[in-house]
Structure 1
Amino acid sequence: MGIEWSVGGRGWGVVRIRVGSCGWTDRGLVDAGWYPAGCTSAEARLRYYASRFSLVEVDSTYYHLPSERNARLWGERTPEGFAFNVKAFSLLTGHPTRVDALPRDLRGSLARGSVYPRDLPAGVVEEVAGRFRSALRPLHESGRLGVVLLQFPPWFLPGAQAEQYILRCRELLFPYRVAFEPRNGAWVTPETFAFLGKERIPYVCVDMPQGHVEAVPPVVRVTAELAIVRLHGRSAHWREGDAREKYRHDYTDGELAEWVPRIRRLARDAEEVHVLLNNCCGATAVTNAAALREMLMVA
């Protein structure tokens, strides 16, 4: 359920604001009882989620390459107009990647553990990107693929070389649209927004804890027809906590309300806005997403 909203900006028109969460299969969400009794299969849960929201982010593709079968089933199990944003596989964005997450025929003599792109023979990253792209084809053909999220690590710093790599990722994933999310505040500059605007690559606006190397301030900018917001929570354990503690934050109504005028500002200059709650601990992401959507509908 997206929000059809008439706004001013580049002339009057209708902007669609989609709100959703980063995942629908998290164990914590299932254990929290958000799904109704009897909703136990993967198909039933996705169909139920898609009856409540018009957008979801697939994060499992960061850890494992997607499969064409799953991409086809996602499209078949969701209504027309539903959108999946898909997180890029870790190797493509320069993160450490587990060897056992690579296709068997590409592992060669690599030992168990994690590798970076520099550890692999020439052509492997391109081959992995091709398989990632191929697996998502059914979702793209069904009209349900939103963007591929390129979330880069804190050590990926701005500069000409980094910009060229972003463009290289876009080329490898063509014809799919890509979006850029940094994990270093050094990217929040006029130069970054000018580069992204020139290339029509969406900048991902974020809400996250501040005061550490990964911190990116909650600056909103429109650099393409699509604007994206990801709300990661404000956990005090972002740096030292485990994965669950890192994202354990239940947004208050006041904290969500801070984003209403920002999202409205994005909607004035974009054709579509995606808002995703990534505080996936229990049912907080979906309950916060529903609350924020309600605020936007009455704002």
Structure 2
Amino acid sequence: MGNTLVGTCSWTDAKLVAGGWYPPGRRDAEGRLRYYAERFPVVEVDSTYYGLPSERNSLLWAERTPDGFLFDVKAFSLFTGHPTRSAALPPDLRSLHSGRPGDPGLGDPGLLDELWRRFTTALEPLRRTGRLGTLLFQFPPWFGPDDRAEAVLRGWSRRAAGWPLAVEFRHPDWWRPDLRQASADLLTRLGMSTVSVDMAQSVADAVPPVDVVTSPRRAVVRFHGRSASWGSGSKEDRFRHAYTTDELAAWLPRLRSMAERAEELHVLFNNCCGDAAVRAAETMSGLLAAPAASRATG
């Protein structure tokens, strides 16, 4: 069975910092990360979705975490075709970008190549110190399965050769029963890990919970919460959900099956509203550590 690492999709969320989970004296940038890394073995970096990372931050993150700690890093928004403000790009590259959303990976290849070079250069300290987990490519809801989408994925597979990529689809058709195997086969051929999700199944275009493993190296599950406001409302509305123990325990068979098929399984909580994500991660860690007999009788 592979190694299962549980964590959250942010350690710097303002509501978490203000909520009291970090003790006094551990609420500055260095103290927060060190405190978090004492309790969880993995975290997701989401700031890299909004702007390119910096090598300085990567160096600091590596210095402030123990050996074996991993950072999963979210891909820059332009890489996945999300709307991206020109101001989010380095000043010398802004003239090459229209600022409008487009087909992910099908924009100016020279711009994408240069952004990718800078993105990965900034992350090299994490890679060099063994702290880079995976690069998360979260594609938008309009990125459905078709020939153009497959071309995008193939393009990123070539550009990112040698880097660990994980793909989260927000369009539910990728995991429709009649397309599920073809989607899994495509990611397997491209050497990309599948990101499975937990979310409210009552909302429109909900992505189904699957336990697909497409890379023997790593599998990823992201728990988004089960808010009925997914896809609408404020960010807090979309992610406001406190997982119950029963909701988390229902995932244990899936997680254990995935862990048997991958060297490493990352279980990340994205319900970052107050301290809901860290509390859910703590509960899931306890459930996974509990002997099977006690889970069955508890």
Give the TM-score normalised by structure 2. Answer: 0.91
- Matched with 1:131 is 118
2:242 counterpart residue number? 250
Q: Distance in 1 between matches of 2:282 and 2:109?
A: 46
Contact 1:148 1:179 in 2 (8 A): yes
Instruction: List per-residue Cα deviations over 1:56-94 (Å, max 9, x = no partner).
Output: 000111011100110111111100000000000000000
In the alignment, which residue of structure 2 is the partner of 1:50?
Answer: 37
The correspondence for 1:276, drawn from 264, 268, 287, is: 268
Aligned partners of 2:255 and 2:96: how far apart in 1? 49
Shift of 1:109: 8.0
Please point out which of 92, 100, 104 is paired with 1:115: 100
1: distance between equivalents of 2:27 and 2:229? 32
AA partner of residue 282 (structure 1)? G
AA in 2 matched with 1:152: F
Find the partner of 2:212 among 221, 224, 229: 221
In structure 1, stretches of 5+ residues that fail to align are 1-6, 8-14
Per the TM alignment, residue 97 of structure 1 is displaced from its structure 2 partner at its CA by 0.5
What is the CA–CA distance in structure 2 between the aligned matches of 1:110 and 1:153, rounded to whole Å?
19
1:151 aligns with 2:155: no
Q: CA RMSD in A?
A: 1.7
Taking the aligned partners of 1:85 and 1:125, their CA distance within structure 2 comes to: 21
Q: Equivalences for 1:63-102 in 2 at 5 Å?
A: 63-102=50-89
Q: Within the alignment, does 1:32 sit opposite 2:19 as a pair?
A: yes
Deviation at 1:123, TM superposition (A): 1.5
What secondary structure does 2:193 align onto?
coil
Per the alignment, in what secondary structure is the counterpart of residue 157 of structure 1?
Answer: coil
Judged with a 3 Å threshold, the aligned counterparts in structure 2 of structure 1 residues 109 and 187 are, in CA distance, closer, same or farther, namely closer
Counterpart AA for 1:209: A
Match of 1:296 in 2: 288
Relative to structure 1, the CA distance from residue 108 to residue 270 in structure 2 (aligned partners, 3 Å threshold; closer, same or farther) is: same
In 1: Cα distance, 2:39 partner to 2:109 partner = 45
The alpha carbon displacement at 1:218 in A equals 0.5
- Quick one: which amino acid aligns to residue 147 of structure 1? T
Change (3 A) 1:157 1:110: closer
* Aligned positions of 1:120-269 closer than 5 A: 121=108, 123-188=110-175, 189-225=180-216, 226-269=218-261
CA distance in 1, matches of 2:167, 2:153: 8
In structure 1, give the amino acid aligned to 2:72.
N
Distance in 1 between residues matched to 2:263 and 2:12, nearest whole Å: 29
Distance 2:58 2:11 in 1: 15
Q: Which runs of 5+ in 2 are unaligned?
A: 293-298
| Paired residues of 2:239 and 2:271 also in contact (CA < 8 A) | yes
- Give the Cα separation in 2 of the matches to 1:58 and 1:130: 18
**Structure 1 Cα separation of the partners of residues 109 and 193 of structure 2:** 29
